[in-house]
Amino acid sequence: MGKLHRKTLETGVEGLGDSYFTESLALSTPPDDPDPLDSNLLLRELQWLLQDATGDVGRSQNPDLVPLRADLGDLYGLWRERVLERRPFQYVVGCEHWRDLVLWVGEGVLIPRPETEVVVDLVREVVIGRSGRGDGEEVWADLGTGSGAIAVGMGGVVGERGRVVATDLSEVAVKVARFNVERYALKDKVQIRQGSWFEPLEDVKGKLTGLVSNPPYIPSRNLPGLQAEVGRYEPKLALDGGESGMDHLIHLCEGSVSYLKPGGFFAFETNGDEQSEFLVDFMVSKLENSFRDVKAVADFAGIKRFVTGFRS
């Protein structure tokens, strides 16, 4: 693999400037782009790209040389894809930093969003609140797991008695999720099964301690107007929520009635205020007496992003 002079790395972007990267930065905001990239953000992504591309300096024999995981020319190619073709940064570097995890992501799986990190916190709170109660095994499910982010995150918080079963319809997602589970040595804790929503969960029907999901929730009519990185690259299967965006959410709510055990917890991510409010109302009035403590929970941007509650 390539070598990069340490001086270049320390002085950062300017050092690489003449030949490569500043050219790309200059290209980063074409005047006709209606949805331009933020140059500060790009600069930070570029630093991360270099960070990911450079190996351990300590292991280099010459302290002035930094080993590179990819050829400079290849890096440049990747960066052009990022800037000119708007390929998501996470696909470019092949990973997403999510919570305290570094997850493998690639085309074919949704890149886990920062908002979704909170789902794991919601689960952790419930686990802590339940501790000391009961002594049997506790099974948690993550439906439509994608890269396996929530499932791996949950694997770390469900406690000694807990285990996680995660499902996804997509073959690619199942492969990526399994890789991420193994990467964090959670093979005995987190199981990935292929299939649609509840289909692979017959064996735990009515026994789930908790059920979470970040299902596709964008209304179909909004798909054409999505941000370039999302619309051009991320899988429609993970985004398209049908006409109202709520097809899958409703399916999940209904399924929860029979799959959760009494007292079981659920948390779903939604498109925001409107969907969350609708779901709360739907679960309280349409699925009456099935659930208790149903409420909308805001994300850090103040948007009612999640609906949580318990099976009666």
Partner 1 sequence: MRNVINRGFASEAAFVEARTSDGLTVDGIVEQRWPILDEGEGDWKSHAAAIAQSIQIIKKRLQWKKIMVRLDVLSAELNRPDLWDDPVHAGKVSREHGGLMGKLKEVRGLEQELLEQIDMLKLAREENDEELELESMKALLLTRRSAKEKEHVALLSGDHDSCSCFIEVQAGAGGTESMDWASMVMQMYKMWAQSRDFRVTVVDEMPGEIAGIKRATLKVDGDYAFGYAKAEVGVHRLVRISPFDSAKRRHTSFAAVAVIPILDDASSHVQINESDLRIERFRSGGPGGQHANTTESAVRIVHIPTGVTATSQNERSQHMNKAMAMAVLQSRLDQLEMARQAQMNAQHTQSLTEISWGNQIRTYVLHPYRMVKDLRTNYEVSDPDSVLEGDLDGFILSFLSASLDKHGDDL
Nearest to 155 by CA among 135, 133, 181, 130: 181
Does 286 contact partner 1 by CB under 8 A? no
Pairing of strands 65-67, 95-98: unpaired
Considering only residues 305, 307, 309, 311, which one is a binding residue for partner 1 as defined by CB under 8 A?
305
The string of DSSP codes covering 19-45 is TTHHHHHHTTS-TT-SSPPPHHHHHHH
Residue 45 touching partner 1 (CB under 8 A): yes
- State both tokens at 267: 């948390």
User: Looking at 197, 198, 217, 259, which residue binds partner 1 (CB under 8 A)?
Assistant: 217
The piece of 53-61, 135-143, 176-184, 225-233 that touches partner 1 (CB under 8 A) is 225-233
Instruction: Count the alpha carbons within 13 Å of 169 in the hemisphere toward its beta carbon.
Output: 12
Shortest distance in whole angstroms from residue 301 CB to partner 1? 4
| Shortest spacing between CB 153 and partner 1, in angstroms | 9
Minimum distance of partner 1 from residue 1's CB (angstroms): 23
**Nearest in space to 163 (alpha carbons), one of 183, 144, 181:** 181
296 touches partner 1 (CB under 8 A)? no
Choice between 66 and 101, CB closer to partner 1: 101
Applying the rule CB under 8 A, the residues between 97 and 136 that interact with partner 1 are 97-101, 110-111, 113-115, 117
> How near is the Cβ of 216 to partner 1 at its closest, in Å?
7
Torsion region of 144: left, alpha or beta (phi above 0 gives left; psi -120 to 50 gives alpha): left
Rounded CA-CA distance 24/49 in Å is: 14
- Are 54 and 2 in contact by the 8 Å Cβ rule? The answer is no
CA atoms lying within 13 Å on the CB side of residue 282: 18
Please report how close the Cβ of residue 234 comes to partner 1 at its closest, in angstroms: 7
- Binding range to partner 1, per CB under 8 A, among 132-140, 155-163, 178-186, 224-232: 224-232
Residue type, 9: L
Q: Kindly tell me which residue out of 227, 258, 292, 295 binds partner 1, with binding defined by CB under 8 A.
A: 227
Pairing, β 101-104 against β 138-143: unpaired
What is the binding site for partner 1 (CB under 8 A)?
10, 38, 40-41, 44-45, 48, 88-90, 97-101, 110-111, 113-115, 117, 214, 216-218, 222, 226-227, 229-230, 234, 238-239, 269-272, 299-303, 305
